[in-house]
Amino acid sequence: MKEKMNKERLAELLRENFPSERSFLLPVLHFIHEEFGFLEESALEEAAKHLRVPVSEVWGSATSYTELRTREPSGNVVGICTGLSCVLKGAHDLLSRANKLARASGSDNTTIEELQCGFLCGVAPVLRHNHKWTAHAVEQDVINAMEGGTHP
């Protein structure tokens, strides 16, 4: 997970990268999600201020998209795409394996998440770990990611 930034730095980045217009709400949410690893409350308040929209509207949008987390994930985040191409290529088996490994470990140090299509359908199934995608993911890739390892 990336280092958290302070409100002043976030406000500066929002000013530099996004017009203060409501229509930029979704791009701003994705930006914050990428920077923080989730939609931190204070960051959403800063987004509302920058975009000049009510905080309730920002929260409403933030909680409408399954690919956006509103809570901080545990240390190791393993995402498996469950878009159609990935499902047809075995994503549910990978997801099942990841969930079994997580239960067997008895630790809550790993967050397993289902991802929407990552637009990498030609190399399905795909897995995302530490902001990196693995193409043609297989069970060993899941095991490596769950252990915090890297793809060989």
Which positions lie near ligand FES, rule CB under 6 A? 81, 83-86, 117-121, 124, 126
**Residue owning tokens 């099942």:** 96
Give the residue with the Cβ less far from ligand FES, 50 or 129. 129
Question: How many Cα atoms occupy the beta-carbon half-sphere of 1 within 13 Å?
Answer: 20
Smallest separation (angstroms) from ligand FES to the CB of 20: 33
Smallest separation (angstroms) from ligand FES to the CB of 81: 3
Give the residue with the Cβ less far from ligand FES, 101 or 124. 124
Q: How many C-beta atoms surround the C-beta of residue 64 within 10 A?
A: 10
Give the residue with the Cβ less far from ligand FES, 11 or 117. 117
Give the residue with the Cβ less far from ligand FES, 102 or 118. 118
Smallest separation (angstroms) from ligand FES to the CB of 83: 2
Q: Which of 103, 108, 104, 105 is nearest to 76 (CA)?
A: 108
Please give the residue whose beta carbon sits closest to ligand FES in the complex.
83
For residues 113 and 109, what is the distance between their CA atoms, to the nearest angstrom? 13
- In degrees and rounded to multiples of 5, residue 100 shows phi and psi of -65, -45
